[in-house]
Structure 1
């Protein structure tokens, strides 16, 4: 167990900077605000702080359209404030992970302005430009993730440029060695400032099909579904050559001691695990989002856990995610009662867990009226429920004005979930549950790094065993609202999500209450 690295032992906590804490009253969170709230992360027990994008941006996609990779947007602060945040985090034993958005830049980035200036631009090939199709129109049928064609016509040069997301987010050409070199230098810029790692945005999209073939129709798509899903995206990403690019990024990061590389990848598990790379030369953690998108029942989750563990390559370290800035909040997906059970699942599975800010207080998605919608995913495709504003609402700190988030008007509506201060006052609140779970995980080498087996579903009950040498832990979770009985080996109950459960020896037939999860300790 002493061989585990910090990111294998630890818990990662994602902050969406716009929504965590505003220090200057403009209604938008910032770096100084995050620094003010670091003690909350320490009290929670997490090990690393992951920041969604903070670089200068026109904010067409709220920071995922980067106009300068080597600075901080004034809305969030300055490089000096970033350095101060890193120093304060490190002083408290917290690591800092940055978002890196390499697939596309802003259309206001100097690189693209140069590239767009004409076909003879020295940076023309830094982006993906193509002539119209033989009969006119876009070069391929590829679709943007935010709706419509992935190609935008540039009348001045008579070509189209590719944008996998908004037209304000042109895709960089990662087949160009100059682009790779420039982006690797960006990583070094932040690593030299003390950053402990990167979460790399849409890493599977970095290389596109070199033949620019049309995507085939999706035979499973039905009218009324997401229009983008009507095609199978075979050629807009996940190309074999991407792994060489990722290996190059990994070499840059590995040149610095004890740093982490996370890849954002929305792919089936058999494709996902390829991003660990040959010989471990890919991402340390290709993000595993299966718990976010899975139906919440014991049989499905047992299958997901078994299949993922079986698919991992030798030496591949697992990871699990319950929530993030792109997906509905866990308490809204499964309900507040099951959110407590979900916390146990996340923090007892083998591998590195990632929390999303606010999940520790059971935050729910916040309804956003049409006149306050900010997310381009919703604005471009209204009525499909694709907007991500509801899960990006400001953190609720206390019962003062604007929940202690800002002295000004918050950029998104506030929710009605009890605040951190209110959860602090409840001895059995979900906040206290998270603290107890993280403390138990930190203190227990079996839960931190032991093997996992015996993953099984019995009706509404999901169960598995963690083991290290002769030490064993059983995790048993009732995903239903009705009581459920299970047969357990002789062991000692050490944890329950619900009050009133006595700790101590159990064995034989055991009755779980509805929405209850327990952890038991025993020896082989």
Structure 2
């Protein structure tokens, strides 16, 4: 089966503000990324996903863009970007940009024109509406970041829609001129040589016609309105036009952030015959955590979710595989046991997701097994969503100590602290004062220390990358779940016949026994393990230690 380059790749997500600071201002930048390309090449990754680097007032850390064709001043210059792109390409790595086209900053020239008068030609590039009775917003939608999804603009006497912060007005994709302007901008970057885009909030581009009120039987001030602004009928028409006018004929990687899409509908977005996106970042396993942030990992449900995605897109489309990103707390803190089994749980979870069919994504610091950062006070949180959430909890009467405990589990800043490079001041990230404090464990959990430790999480990720690239069956071999009823084991095979691999992971802090039929496991065919494994002959039953993961080559399979 012929593969596209992005199917063979491993993606490394960089949060530029926290990756490496080159000039001592405490904020990561493009020259800092350039200075660390040796490390990324050593790790073995193929694609660098840069979170937004565009000019921005940083109301939402760059996800509020004020100029799509300029670089954020804190990050450097366009010349810096050109040097980074050229050096990455020289090393055989590709670069994709995180592109926000559901909304802009309120400082973007398009919005400044749009709000200047009701008659401005760009007025319809955004959503402007008259208010309701008694000065209320046009509808009862709640912002994804809490509070009303509308802000009143006194200059023209109307309200504008923003699904995120009030400084992130939503673009009206029903407007053909707006769509053409976005396509022109994307072609400009592709002509410059970027290798694709991760498209933020892509399922929100289409809003329900008429922007109707949500049912509100409880009489709330605002109501979450996801059915009316997420994956609304007609959105694929926008995607088709975008792909036809912008991406057709270009060998690029496109990744959609796709809240609201399930495995049953994924083929419409990423189907090999559809000509749309390369892959989507689905949210189903994310919601498994967010609906119960303090609950232990539900292994059986996780298997059902990820297994459905593997099956639904087999031979039809392509999966994006991930456990962490800039919007999530660290996976070791969410699902692992960082106090007792940090290395083991980090590597077991890594093994579980990394060897499925799809393109694996690593978020900076994940390869070190970093747990959540533990901020000392609420004042250290910088994220706009965190500020809104803190204010909401204070309004409900919670103490600051209780709020801090909650935010340590759920806040996005907990995974955005500076990358720990060494055990020097501020973890080697900056010579100045970092924008967020260094991780509390940076003296033990840093790149230099882990590079020198063959048992480290970092070296295990490097081995996973090498294994995935070395074994062709891990690219297109069929995925089959094993031990489906187990509440501790996540096990599966990749491939068939004499060229198959078994991945067996105990995702719990207790021993777990795996029994199987149709093949045996032999120590001489062990490909990777996160514990030392003594010699053993062919086995049909295997007892794994707490958070133990093993990968075996196997013969003919007929798993039960």
TM-score, shorter chain, exceeding 0.5: yes
Corresponding residue number in structure 1 for 2:104: 105
Corresponding residue number in structure 2 for 1:357: 364
- 1:275 matched to 2:303? The reply is no
- CA deviations on 1:200-259 (whole Å, 9 max, x unpaired) are 00001111111211123499x9x9xxx97x535211232111111112222245335320
CA distance in 2, matches of 1:503, 1:411: 49
The 1:193/1:234 distance shift into structure 2, 3 A limit, reads same
CA distance in 2, matches of 1:257, 1:195: 11
The question of whether the paired residues in 2 share the 8 Å contact of 1:376 and 1:387 is answered with no
Give the unaligned 5+ runs of structure 1. Answer: none
Give the unaligned 5+ runs of structure 2. Answer: 290-296, 394-405
CA distance in 2, matches of 1:242, 1:150: 20
Say which is worse superposed, 275-284 or 98-107, in terms of deviation.
275-284
Identify which of 363, 366, 388 aligns with 1:380.
Answer: 388
CA distance in 1, matches of 2:537, 2:475: 23
The question of whether the paired residues in 2 share the 8 Å contact of 1:114 and 1:123 is answered with yes
Corresponding residue number in structure 2 for 1:403: 427
Question: 2:184 aligns to what SS in structure 1?
Answer: helix
The 1:481/1:211 distance shift into structure 2, 3 A limit, reads same
CA distance in 2, matches of 1:419, 1:444: 29
- 1:236 matched to 2:237? The reply is no
CA displacement at 1:131 relative to structure 2: 1.0
Question: 2:357 aligns to what SS in structure 1?
Answer: coil
CA distance in 1, matches of 2:310, 2:146: 34
CA displacement at 1:321 relative to structure 2: 1.1
CA distance in 2, matches of 1:503, 1:9: 33
Corresponding residue number in structure 1 for 2:471: 444
Corresponding residue number in structure 2 for 1:348: 355
Corresponding residue number in structure 2 for 1:69: 68
The 1:319/1:374 distance shift into structure 2, 3 A limit, reads same
Question: 1:247 aligns to what SS in structure 2?
Answer: helix
Say which is worse superposed, 263-272 or 37-46, in terms of deviation.
263-272
CA displacement at 1:291 relative to structure 2: 3.8
The question of whether the paired residues in 2 share the 8 Å contact of 1:457 and 1:463 is answered with no
- 1:118 matched to 2:117? The reply is yes
What aligned pairs does 1:13-412 form with structure 2 within 5 A after superposition?
13-134=12-133, 136-217=135-216, 231-269=224-262, 270-276=264-270, 279-294=273-288, 296-312=297-313, 315-333=316-334, 334-335=336-337, 336=342, 337-368=344-375, 369-382=377-390, 383=393, 385=407, 387-412=411-436
CA displacement at 1:292 relative to structure 2: 3.6
The 1:100/1:402 distance shift into structure 2, 3 A limit, reads same
The 1:459/1:110 distance shift into structure 2, 3 A limit, reads closer
TM-score normalised by L of structure 2 = 0.88
- 1:423 matched to 2:417? The reply is no
Question: 1:70 aligns to what SS in structure 2?
Answer: strand
CA displacement at 1:290 relative to structure 2: 3.5
- CA deviations on 1:112-171 (whole Å, 9 max, x unpaired) are 111111101111111110111255411111111111110111112111100111111111
- CA deviations on 1:267-302 (whole Å, 9 max, x unpaired) are 252455543369423321111243444352331122
Corresponding residue number in structure 2 for 1:483: 511
- CA deviations on 1:478-507 (whole Å, 9 max, x unpaired) are 112222222242244424443321467532
Identify which of 542, 552, 556 aligns with 1:510.
Answer: 542
The 1:291/1:434 distance shift into structure 2, 3 A limit, reads farther
CA distance in 2, matches of 1:464, 1:217: 44
The 1:218/1:253 distance shift into structure 2, 3 A limit, reads farther
The question of whether the paired residues in 1 share the 8 Å contact of 2:16 and 2:33 is answered with yes
CA displacement at 1:308 relative to structure 2: 1.8
Question: 2:187 aligns to what SS in structure 1?
Answer: helix
Corresponding residue number in structure 1 for 2:294: none
CA distance in 2, matches of 1:232, 1:161: 16
CA distance in 1, matches of 2:51, 2:514: 42
CA distance in 1, matches of 2:229, 2:91: 42
CA distance in 2, matches of 1:121, 1:158: 14
CA displacement at 1:96 relative to structure 2: 0.2
CA displacement at 1:395 relative to structure 2: 0.2
CA distance in 2, matches of 1:188, 1:218: 46
The question of whether the paired residues in 1 share the 8 Å contact of 2:285 and 2:306 is answered with no
Corresponding residue number in structure 2 for 1:500: 532
- CA deviations on 1:287-332 (whole Å, 9 max, x unpaired) are 1243444352331122112222343386211221100000111111
The question of whether the paired residues in 2 share the 8 Å contact of 1:280 and 1:315 is answered with no
Say which is worse superposed, 317-326 or 464-473, in terms of deviation.
464-473
- CA deviations on 1:50-92 (whole Å, 9 max, x unpaired) are 0000000011111011000011111101111101101111111
Question: 1:280 aligns to what SS in structure 2?
Answer: coil
Corresponding residue number in structure 1 for 2:499: 471
Question: 2:467 aligns to what SS in structure 1?
Answer: helix
Q: Give me the CA root mean square deviation.
A: 2.2
The alignment covers a number of residue pairs equal to 517
CA distance in 2, matches of 1:495, 1:310: 25
CA distance in 1, matches of 2:217, 2:499: 48
- CA deviations on 1:97-125 (whole Å, 9 max, x unpaired) are 10110011111111111111110111111
